[in-house]
Amino acid sequence: MPPTKPRQDRDEKRRELVDAARRLFIGDGYDATSMAALARAAGVAPNTIYWYFGDKDDLLIAVLDAVMADALAEYAGVADRPIAEQMLWTVRQLQQLERLVTTVHARIGRSEALNTWHDTFHATTEGLLRTSIEQTVPPGAIDAEVRIAVFAVEGLLTHRMPEPDQRAICEQLASRWA
User: Quick one: which of 18, 17, 110 has its CA closest to 68?
Assistant: 18
Q: Is residue 1 part of a domain?
A: no
Q: Is residue 4 part of a domain?
A: no
CATH number at residue 123: 1.10.357.10
Q: How many domains does the chain have?
A: 1
Q: Is residue 23 part of a domain?
A: yes
| Predicted local distance difference test score (pLDDT) of residue 139 | 84
> Would the CA dihedral through 154, 155, 159, 162 be positive or negative?
negative
Q: Is residue 2 part of a domain?
A: no
Residue ranges making up the domain that contains 91: 10-175
| Predicted local distance difference test score (pLDDT) of residue 7 | 60
User: pLDDT tens track of the chain, all 178 residues?
Assistant: 555 555 668 889 999 999 999 999 999 999 999 999 999 999 999 999 999 999 999 999 999 999 999 999 999 999 999 999 999 999 999 999 999 999 999 999 999 999 999 999 999 999 999 999 999 999 899 999 999 999 999 999 999 899 999 999 999 999 999 8
Q: Is residue 62 part of a domain?
A: yes
Q: Is residue 111 part of a domain?
A: yes
| Predicted structure pTM score | 0.88
Cα–Cα distance measured from residue 129 to residue 135, given in angstroms and rounded to the nearest whole number: 11
| Predicted local distance difference test score (pLDDT) of residue 8 | 64
Cα–Cα distance measured from residue 17 to residue 8, given in angstroms and rounded to the nearest whole number: 13
DSSP letter string over 132-176? HHTTTS-GGGHHHHHHHHHHHHHHHHHS---HHHHHHHHHHHHHT
Q: Is residue 78 part of a domain?
A: yes
| Predicted local distance difference test score (pLDDT) of residue 97 | 93
| Predicted local distance difference test score (pLDDT) of residue 175 | 95
| Predicted local distance difference test score (pLDDT) of residue 9 | 86
